[in-house]
């Protein structure tokens, strides 16, 4: 798993046909995906695949696009103070925030390409960005505790949920984490489900009421894992 790139290169969605050739239960959904989507990027399956896939796609849309990057920067300029306000220590998280903003500036300059982003997305950068995404998610959940507490089933409080399901680097993201992070970043994302349920692949949108100039990101979800997937 550690040998796999954090975010891989684009590969055809049709590769899923080969992967699921011996599993007829998935045939209908795979056909739907091949018809609708062109290619995908596979993310390292270490529990942080949602966070890195979503962030990578956000930065990908800002490559060489100063207008989009400026709008996103304006939204995120107070993010560090936002996280400090719920109890994080500045020394513990400031480097994560700085790396996040530095990458934003690096990919949005004139002449930057997707290859620029891929080269900058090192394993060290990936760890910092994933840490920052988890901090943002946790901070948003805590700040909006009243909105999320009613959805908890196995945790006594939002604080406990964050401590056990958000902050640890190997914990996977589900609806609450996706809702929180997409609401904080205000970049729309749609999760497309490839599972054993009947019918075509179901889609669940998050933060689609955003006013930021981003097109919706699509993530392919298979139980326990997220990859990036791109519509035709």
Residue 39 annotated as catalytic: no
Inter-CA distances, 164 with 23, 89, 93, 114, Å: 34, 19, 18, 35
- Tokens standing for residue 186: 């205000």
**Which one, of 19, 51, 34, lies nearest residue 121 by Cα?**
51
* Residue from 126, 131, 162, 225 carrying the catalytic annotation: 225
Q: Which residue has the tokens 């609806």?
A: 175
Count each helix (H run) and each strand (E run) in the chain, helices first: 11, 6
d(CA 107, CA 111): 9
Residue 209 annotated as catalytic: no
Inter-CA distances, 162 with 39, 97, 137, Å: 33, 19, 9
Residues forming beta bridges with residue 41, ordered by sequence position: 10, 228
- Note whether 117 and 59 are within 8 A (CB): yes
CA atoms within 13 A on the CB side of 204: 11
- Tokens standing for residue 140: 């948003």
Residue 150 annotated as catalytic: no
* Residue from 39, 46, 144, 155 carrying the catalytic annotation: 46
Catalytic (active-site) positions: 46, 49, 225
């Amino acid at each position: 798993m550690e040998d796999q790139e954090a975010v891989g290169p684009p590969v055809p969605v049709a590769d899923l046909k080969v992967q699921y050739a011996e599993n007829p239960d998935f045939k209908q959904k795979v056909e739907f995906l091949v018809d609708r989507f062109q290619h995908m990027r596979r993310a390292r399956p270490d529990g942080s695949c949602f966070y890195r896939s979503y962030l990578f796609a956000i930065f990908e849309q800002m490559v060489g696009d100063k207008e989009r990057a400026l709008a996103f920067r304006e939204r995120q300029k107070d993010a560090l103070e936002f996280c400090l306000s719920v109890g994080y220590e500045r020394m513990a998280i400031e480097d994560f925030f700085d790396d996040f903003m530095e990458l934003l500036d690096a990919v949005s300059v004139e002449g930057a390409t997707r290859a620029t982003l891929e080269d900058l997305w090192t394993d060290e950068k990936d760890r910092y960005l994933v840490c920052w995404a988890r901090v943002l998610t946790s901070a948003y959940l805590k700040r909006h505790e009243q909105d999320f507490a009613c959805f908890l089933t196995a945790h006594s409080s939002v604080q406990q949920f964050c401590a056990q399901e958000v902050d640890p680097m190997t914990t996977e993201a589900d609806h609450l984490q996706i809702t929180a992070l997409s609401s904080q970043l205000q970049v729309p994302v749609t999760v497309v489900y490839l599972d054993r349920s009947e019918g075509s692949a179901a889609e669940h949108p998050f933060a689609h009421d955003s006013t930021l100039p981003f097109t919706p990101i699509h993530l392919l979800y298979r139980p326990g894992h997220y990859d990036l997937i791109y519509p035709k």
